[in-house]
Amino acid sequence: MKSRIATVAASLFLASSLAAPALADTLATPLNSNNNQSGIMFDVVVGSQSLVLQSLGVNITGGTYDFKFYTIDGGIGSNQNNAAAWTLRDSFSGVTSAGTDNLTNFDIADFGVTAGSTIGFYFTGTVPYTGIVRYTNGNAVGDIVASNSALSILSGYGKSYPFAENFSPRDFNGAITYAVAGVPEPAIWALMILGFGTIGFAMRRAQARSDVRFDAKIKRIAAHAQA
């Protein structure tokens, strides 16, 4: 019986470890660029569920370029020019653009963001003062450019490379693809429910057998005492 319970418990552990992100979704901004610079810096606010961020689509001027993608926890704040405060997430070499007002896709290394958090994004080409990354002139830094229940993309800054001059307000032209973090597939839920039920039944059965053996032992002791 113990071996069966151990087997079921191991299966449950495996099922929980297979919990996978839900199907990917994408939040996109309008592609109506009227300005450009080396890069774009903006905040992203996460909704009520933790997410795994998977890829970026960016409005890039026609050509072939190198790019870098940085993030900062808690949002940009006053760190527009403070390179030491940022984390380099990815570098891309020799990327050929899909052309102005089209999305060029960047398959970033997946990373998790927690519910209710704010993350600063800085996506940039690697040549100073060049119109590689296209964006739209905004109204105010922090305005919502695009939003759904999972994410909000805020207006930010056009940037010269690297972490140099700021131009604001500027609205990101692009898209963020994400998935809800750690949601088990339906089949995994079913396996886990079945497993918990099996463990509960096995434990009740083992307890019943233990009670029977204890009662029998008490009766034998009583019979021996009477003899």
Two tokens, residue 88: 């380099």
The H-assigned helical ranges of the chain are 2-17, 186-226
Two tokens, residue 199: 């463990």
Percent above pLDDT 70 for the chain:
70
pLDDT tens-digit series, residues 136-151: 999 999 999 999 999 9
- What was the pLDDT predicted at 182? 74
Banded model confidence at residue 42, pLDDT cuts 50, 70, 90: very high
- What was the pLDDT predicted at 57? 98
Q: Cβ(112)–Cβ(50) under 8 Å? A: yes
Beta strands 25-28 and 156-159 are unpaired
Q: What is the mean pLDDT of the chain?
A: 84
pTM summary value = 0.74
- HSE at residue 86, side-chain half, CA atoms within 13 A, is 25
pLDDT tens-digit series, residues 100-130: 999 999 999 999 999 999 999 999 999 999 9
Rounded distance, CA 138 to CA 171, Å? 5
Two tokens, residue 141: 């830094």
The phi and psi torsions of 203 (rounded to 5 degrees) equal -70, -40
The phi and psi torsions of 194 (rounded to 5 degrees) equal -60, -40
